[in-house]
Amino acid sequence: MAKTLDKVDVVTVGVGWTGGIIAAECAKQGMKVRGLERGKERGTKNYAMIHDEYRYAIRYELMQDLSRETITFRNNLKMRPLPMRQMGSFLLGENLGGAGTHWNGMTYRFLPYDFQIKTETEKKYGKNKLSSDYLLQDWGITYDELEPYFDKFEKTIGLSGEDTNPFWGKRTSDFPTPPMKKTPLLKKFEKATKDLGYHPYMVPSANLSEPYENPDGSKINACQYCGFCERFGCEYGAKSSPEVTVVPAALKTGNYDITFHANVVEVLKKGNKVTGVRYIDTQTGEEFIQPADVVVLTSYIMNNAKLLMVSDIGEQYDPNTGKGTLGKNYCYQIEPGATGFFDDQMNVFMGAGALGMTIDDFNGDSFDHSNEGFIHGASISFTQSGTRPILSNPVPSDVPVWGAEFKKASIENYTRSLSVFGQGASMPHKNNYLALDSNYKDRYGVPLLQMTYNFTEQDRNLHKFITDKTVKIMKEMGAKKTEGGNPLTDYDIVPYQSTHNTGGTTMGADPNTSVVNNYLQHWDMENLFVVGAGNFNHNSGYNPTATVGALAYRTAEGIQKYREKGGMLA
């Protein structure tokens, strides 16, 4: 028998970037907000012994315990879906801060083109540039409309950068802090790309170039370039994360609290409204009902979609009929790149998560696609994020992967190789989607989320095009030997690729093609908001966090509007 708790104004499911932003904004307005977090409390005090590659990067100390919950996966409708039994392709977050604790801090705003991709593509290349199997759609919001929210997120995190990129959208204010240090390795990339006629700029970084106090009064320190960023937490409080920014800002108001070890299993509803959520205390097994005027799903894209599915809210997408919206437009990212081998040793073990430079000459619609078999593109970057010895054993492809020759070559090349990589955009395809699995369950008896995903023709063409560019850049950087990545085949969930999973709870202007409106308010339940990278209709050629942050600020404004006047906001 579930115990019913006292009602709150707003409940968020998950406390990472989105849950933290919404908590801070709503609590500052005087709303009583409660965050339900399935994991533990944690913060900078827990990251003192973080320089430990094995514990954090290999054994995934900060990440989701898959023994409790995972997803099932298949490449296509014919394959039997099976559980992702260990982490690989992407790294799911858990505990306070979520994936915002162990991100790298590369923080790009999506391009104006992204938000109107369908309109822009048709205008320039006609209606049949991509076949109708690709479910391209506009986002129901423009870059200019989102700009103030981007601005707000960047000021919260103190983003370090420079506005020198000719390809991205207009900014109303400059970066809060200057860019990070331009190291000799970055200069190598800068010179090579400039000589090729491209436009390199410093990666907008949430590892700050100098100490910063944000508008909420939270202090973020200056990055020390220790080389332990992605997959790690920051012992200096110098990587902007929910724990050092929005969560303390929310707590400071006295209107916010967090319940840890609270695993939400259902969103409760009555008519066209939700009434709260049901959760299990993972320490005692007890069930609780948390009533709320407004429910906000602020977990990772997988659980946001799963909770809507198990609560039977909205219509599940069916690839055979094309009907339904929930679970559609699941996208990922394409990772073309090249490795170069050099003669001289370099300080590859130093760095910071977002220490790097990027070119957008082949991203978005910066170049003409008339003769290409794909749309969009990739940002191409070189980053010096600190390579570590277990995961970095670069050897040319003709060297065996074990034995005497491997040992020599991997030691030789550890400090003598660099990589240039693209983050390739991912377009939605009718056969790539999320649903509920019918065979496997999590520890609480709830079905696992099921992912059906494979790379497409568009992906393969884009991958080849960008790989060639990265090879060219690497050669220009002076590598004595350059190897481009292998051509794209089937998506494989084993090797790490990227934790940039998107879609499934898309946003838009039309309830027939999206799950939420442009305030991230659910089309069928006016007091339910769903926010995160799940709202993306496709994935761009950048890291997603800036756009996720902007959408969270937009959601917070939507919640305030809704409390004032009720009803549908868009």
Partner 1 sequence: MDNPKKGTSRRDFLKTSGIAAGALVGGGVLGGLVGYNAKGGNGKSGGEQTKDPANKHEMQTRGLMFFQNPEEFNVLSQATERIFPEDDLGPGAIGLGVPYFIDNQLAGNYGSNAKEYMQGPFFNGEATQGYQSRLTRAEIFRQGIALMDEEANKRFKKNFTDLEGGQMDEILTDFQKNQIDMKGVSSEFFFKLLRQATLEGAYADPIYNGNANMEGWKMKGFPGHQMAYINVIEDEKFQVIEPKSISSMQH
Could you list the active site residues? 500
Instruction: Select the span of 108-116, 308-316, 410-418, 506-514 touching partner 1 (CB under 8 A).
Output: 410-418
Asked if 445 interacts with partner 1 (CB under 8 A), we say no
Taking contact as CB under 8 A, which single stretch among the options 278-286, 382-390, 467-475, 556-564 is the one that binds partner 1? 382-390
82 binds partner 1 (CB under 8 A): yes
- Give me the least distance between CB of 554 and partner 1, in Å please: 26
Cβ 256 to partner 1 shortest distance, Å: 7
Could you tell me how far CA 252 lies from the centroid of its own chain? 27
Q: Does 408 bind partner 1 (CB under 8 A)?
A: yes
Nearest-angstrom CA–CA distance, 321 and 328: 12
Q: What is the DSSP letter of 327?
A: T
Give the footprint of partner 1 on residues 526-565 (CB under 8 A): none
- Angle of helix 545-565 relative to helix 17-28, nearest 10 degrees, comes to 40
Task: State the minimum distance, in angstroms, from the CB of residue 432 to partner 1.
Answer: 14
Residue 217 CB, nearest approach to partner 1 (Å): 7
Pick the closer one to partner 1 by CB: 125 or 236: 236
Query: What is the 8-class DSSP label of residue 2?
Result: P
Q: What region does 255 belong to: left with phi over 0, alpha with psi -120 to 50, or beta?
A: alpha
Q: Are 505 and 532 in contact (CB under 8 A)?
A: yes
Within 13 Å of residue 487, how many CA atoms lie on the same side as its CB? 7
- Residue 552 CB: number of other CB atoms within 10 A? 28
Using CB under 8 A as the binding rule, whether residue 490 contacts partner 1 is answered as yes
Strand partners, 547: none
Shortest Cβ 177–partner 1 spacing (Å): 12
Q: Which residues are within 8 A (CB) of 411 and not within 5 positions of it... i.e. 6 or more apart?
A: none
Q: Count CA atoms closer than 13 A to 426's CA, side-chain side.
A: 28
First to last CA, the chain: 38
Nearest distance in Å: CB 485, partner 1: 17
Q: How far is 418 from 348, CA to CA, in rounded Å?
A: 8
Tell me how far, at minimum, the Cβ of 154 lies from partner 1, in Å.
Answer: 20
Q: Which region among 133-141, 149-157, 248-256, 422-430 touches partner 1 (by CB under 8 A)?
A: 248-256
- Of 225 and 332, the one with the shorter C-beta distance to partner 1 is 225
Amino acid code (one letter) for 485 = G
Q: Choose among 264, 212, 259, 216: nearest CA to 239.
A: 212
* Other beta carbons within 10 Å of 417: 23
Return the axis-axis angle of helices 143-157 and 545-565, rounded to nearest 10°.
110
Residue type, 519: Y
Would you give the distance in Å from CA 301 to the centre of its chain? 9
Rank residues 247 and 357 by Cβ distance to partner 1 and give the closer one.
247
Site string for partner 1, 206-235 (x = CB under 8 A): -----x-----xxx-xxxxxxx------xx
Residue 14: how many CB atoms within 10 A of its CB?
Answer: 28
Nearer to partner 1, 96 or 307 (CB): 96
Q: What are phi and psi of 541, to 5 degrees?
A: -90, 35
Q: How far apart are CA 213 and CA 220, in angstroms?
A: 6
Q: In the range 145-184, which residues lie near partner 1 by CB under 8 A?
A: 181-184
Task: Indicate which single residue of 126, 197, 254, 285 sits in contact with partner 1 (rule: CB under 8 A).
Answer: 254
Q: How many residues bind partner 1 (CB under 8 A)?
A: 91
Q: Which is nearer to partner 1, 250 or 525 (CB)?
A: 250
Q: How far is the CB of 18 from partner 1 (least distance, A)?
A: 19
Pick from 33, 202, 238, 277: which binds partner 1 (CB under 8 A)? 238
The 43-62 contact track toward partner 1, x by CB under 8 A, reads xxx--xx-xxxx---xxx--
Residues 447-476 that bind partner 1 (CB under 8 A): none
Beta strands in 221-307 (DSSP E): 256-259, 262-270, 273-281, 287-297
Q: CB of 508: closest distance to partner 1 in angstroms?
A: 31
Amino acid at 484: G
C-alpha–C-alpha distance, residues 411 and 534, integer Å:
41
CB of 368 to partner 1, least distance (A): 34
Q: Which stretch binds partner 1 (CB under 8 A): 105-113, 243-251, 545-553, 560-568?
A: 243-251
Site for partner 1 in 330-369 (CB under 8 A): 344-347, 349-351
Window of 318-326, 335-343, 457-465, 486-494 that interacts with partner 1 by CB under 8 A = 486-494
Among 2, 28, 41, 557, which residue sits at the site for partner 1 (rule: CB under 8 A)? 41
State the DSSP string of 28-96: HTT--EEEE-SS----GGGGTT---IIIIIIS-TTB--TTT--EEEESSTTSPPEE--S--SS--B-ST
d(CA 376, CA 548): 20
In terms of CB distance, is 44 or 381 closer to partner 1? Answer: 44
> Within positions 271 to 300, which residues make up the interface with partner 1, using CB under 8 A?
none
Could you tell me which stretch among 36-44, 198-206, 267-275, 276-284 binds partner 1 (CB under 8 A)?
Answer: 36-44
> Which of positions 385-404 make contact with partner 1 (CB under 8 A)?
388-390, 393, 401-404
Which window, 82-90, 145-153, 423-431, 500-508, contacts partner 1 (CB under 8 A)? 82-90
The yes or no reply on residue 439 touching partner 1 (CB under 8 A) is yes
C-alpha–C-alpha distance, residues 14 and 447, integer Å = 19
Task: Examine residue 29 and tell whether it contacts partner 1 (CB under 8 A).
Answer: no
Q: Is 499 in the site for partner 1 (CB under 8 A)?
A: no
